Amino acid sequence: MSTRSRTALGVTTLAAVVATLCFDPFASAAGVVSITPHTLENNVSLASGRSLTPVVSGGSTTVPTDATRVTFSVTVSRAAASGWVAINPWQDASGASFENFTAGSTASGTFTEPVGLQNKVQFTNSSAGSITLTVRITGYSTEVRAGDISPAGGSAGQVLTNTGSGVQWQTPSDAYSEYGGFQNLTASPLSVVSVTLPAGAYVASAMYEAFTYSASGAIECELADPAGNPLPSNRNTYLSSSIPQVSGSMQVLLQTTGGAVQVRCHSTLGTNAIYSITLIASRVGAAHGQVEG
């Protein structure tokens, strides 16, 4: 009989048996690729309290290295005492499975376990006597479930991202902003505010207040990429003595390899100034793909 939970005394409770028979979140065959059985351990004698930690993916196992779970058939024979074999990812016994057996009998079961550190799974003889153990790989899965992702190294809201040369925790959406104060304008373009961005795709938005000293005034503003190239975002704002202060805004989607995005403004009529300006760039894009809970 195979179970996934035991009491501290090693006796399977009725509730645990019922729960195991009714629902085992690890026993689902969904996403499991069947393979020709590959023998990991063949009639190996295992003393009381001893463990085996075979590599279960890559190499000669016939299981790809990107497998997240491996399915085994486990057979226990020649048991000198009753007990169980604990099966768990190496160095992680929190979700162990158990193959129960009685002295002198043969017991077998099928288990699906997450691949542990260094692609190993541990098999431990938890009885008072020796056993003979045979383990064969019968399938694997490459599905990633929510519980497979460790929060170690990341912070709330971050996602584990393939960077092309490895993986790292990243924030899927970032906002960068800068504020620019009062600046007098001339006929030549002047950088009135800029914000430095990491590589990525962004929506850049600028909101400004323009002011004129003249009876009639006009300014033109534009967003420019880190190379100084104008982006398709230029905006003309017209002012007068009766309406000396006017708001303006512009927005553009840009892709950059990193650097400072800026807003440039200049006067096209009269004597004018930027009263205040705010530049905000928000990273766009999202991590996606199926995640099973």
Checking if the pLDDT of 25 tops 90, the result is no
Reported confidence tier of residue 108, pLDDT bands at 50, 70, 90: very high
CATH number at residue 276: 2.60.120.760
d(CA 147, CA 65): 19
User: Looking at the structure, do residues 118 and 220 belong to the same domain, yes or no?
Assistant: no
The more confident residue out of 212 and 5 is 212
DSSP category for residue 145: B
User: Looking at the structure, do residues 185 and 111 belong to the same domain, yes or no?
Assistant: no
* Per-residue model confidence as pLDDT tens digits over 113-130: 988 778 899 999 999 999
| 170 domain residue, yes or no | no
d(CA 221, CA 153): 42
User: Looking at the structure, do residues 250 and 188 belong to the same domain, yes or no?
Assistant: yes
The more confident residue out of 160 and 43 is 43
Instruction: Answer with the one of 145, 161, 188 that is the final residue of a domain.
Output: 145
pTM of the model: 0.48
Domain count, the chain: 2
Q: Which domain holds residue 240?
A: 175-283
CATH number at residue 72: 2.60.120.340
Structure tokens at 66: 């990107």
* Per-residue model confidence as pLDDT tens digits over 178-200: 888 899 999 999 999 999 988 88
d(CA 56, CA 69): 9
User: Looking at the structure, do residues 49 and 98 belong to the same domain, yes or no?
Assistant: yes
The answer to which of 24-33, 60-69, 138-147 has the lowest mean pLDDT is: 24-33
